[in-house]
Amino acid sequence: MHDQPASQDFADDDTPQESAEFAELLAASEASRPDPKPGDRVTGTVVQITATEVFVDVGARHELPMSLDDFRGPDGALLCQEGQSVSAYVIKTTDGLGLAKTVHPGDAGKRALQALQAAQAANAPVEGKITSTNKGGFTVDLGGQRGFCPFSQMDLRRIQDPEPFVGTSQRFLILEISADGRNIVLSRRALLQREREEKAASIRQSLAVGAIFTGQVTRLMPYGAFVDIGGVEGLVHISQICHQRISDPAEILREGQEVRVEVVEIQHPGENRRERVSLSMKSLATDPWPAEAAAIPVGQDTQGTITRLVDFGAFVLLKQGIEGLVHISELADRRLVHPREVVKEGDEITVRVLEIDPHRRRISLSRRQAGDYAGD
């Protein structure tokens, strides 16, 4: 007897029926993985690098190609390796679908127009240089094609001065484009809004009471400051800006300032206009009251500034974040109807410290008992 060939030890393990079933399952699995649509923003992994293209696995039935130029640095060096994570826009190509980080129109003429038309179809951003302004907006050079961006479409908020944008390169979405390319309407605002919504979706996954974020002050209002924490805008009420009492957020903050905030309340998350996120800067700041109040000597005179007048007395700022109250009966030797009869906001006065209550955070003061009081 002769031994069976070694090559048959495993070759016959699968029957033709099992192989057919496996092929059917594989085909069904691939069919259930739909290709993304042009304009979708996708994230995938680099699986192959060729001389001209990079192939990225984005979870579709096939890897999608991306130009090698999208991975070159300013010096021309290739900044790409297999296994790298990549985010890009799906675009239509002559062979099907592909990927692009940003559409660059390139040379003037027909090639530039075709690139712009492809960008509009894919809802992908294009890059252009702002060359001038006119009555309605900005003139934009798109690689030889001229585009127009209305003032209202340049930013998320109304721009006060358009001149700083002139001479800069910006990214836009194409709202309209005529067949001959003579009428191209652009929007930077639409792109910023889309990117903002993408960031917001990510931020909302970690949005919870007690979460801490670094954000940017976007608007100052009499009642507080709005802060963008990454596509989600929350309100820091004036009482939550700092430990000291302030009458206007502008005393402490400015638009564009970077601040650390803590989430203190969330209402209707993700429900567009109904969403309310309350933030606090105060909760993350050191409270100066205990240490500063303890350093104020009871029974002695000290200087302060009147910050507010109320029917029952005057509040006096003794130190940063530390206020005391002069009751109306301690303002003068005579009976007063209102504190304004003897003092006004902003007055520098000498007061005697009568009592400090650390638990109730109250300091009682007297103007008429101070050593330099001369009567009214």
Q: What is the CATH number of the domain that holds 166?
A: 2.40.50.140
* Number of domains the chain is built from: 4
How does the average pLDDT of the chain come out, rounded?
Answer: 84
Q: What is the pLDDT of residue 304?
A: 94
Which of 109-118, 138-147, 172-181, 263-272 has the weakest average pLDDT? Answer: 109-118
Whether the per-residue pLDDT at 15 is higher than 60: the answer is: no
Contacts of 22 (CB under 8 A, 6+ apart): 14
Looking at the fold, whether 304 and 360 belong to one and the same domain comes out as yes
Could you say which of 255, 284, 313 is where a domain stops? 284
Range 210-237 average pLDDT:
94
Q: Whole-model pTM?
A: 0.54
Considering the domain architecture, whether residues 308 and 355 belong to the same structural domain is answered as: yes
CA distance 50 to 58: 18
CA–CA distance, 317 with 32 (Å, rounded to integer)? 69
* Strand runs labelled E in the chain: 41-49, 53-57, 64-67, 85-93, 96-100, 126-133, 137-142, 145-150, 169-177, 184-187, 212-221, 224-228, 233-237, 258-267, 276-280, 301-310, 313-319, 322-327, 348-357, 362-366
Which pLDDT belongs to residue 2? 46
Task: Tell me, yes or no, whether 212 and 146 share the same domain.
Answer: no
Which pLDDT band, with edges at 50, 70 and 90, does 26 fall under? Answer: very low
Q: What single string gives the DSSP state of each residue in 144-169? A: TEEEEEEGGGSSSS--S--GGGTT-E
- Tally of CA atoms within 13 A in the half-sphere of 290 that contains its CB: 3
Distance between CA atoms of residues 356 and 235, nearest Å: 33
Exposed/middle/buried for residue 49 (C-beta within 10 Å: 0-12, 13-18, 19+): middle
Interatomic CA distance for residues 78 and 7, integer angstroms: 45
Containing structural domain, residue 163: 126-192
* Domain assignment of residue 198, yes or no: no
Q: Tokens representing 65? A: 């190609």
Q: Is residue 95 part of a domain?
A: yes
Mean pLDDT check: name the lowest of 58-62, 140-144, 259-263: 58-62
Of 284, 299, 314, the one marking the end of a domain is 284
Angle at 171 between CA 167 and CA 174, to 5 degrees: 115
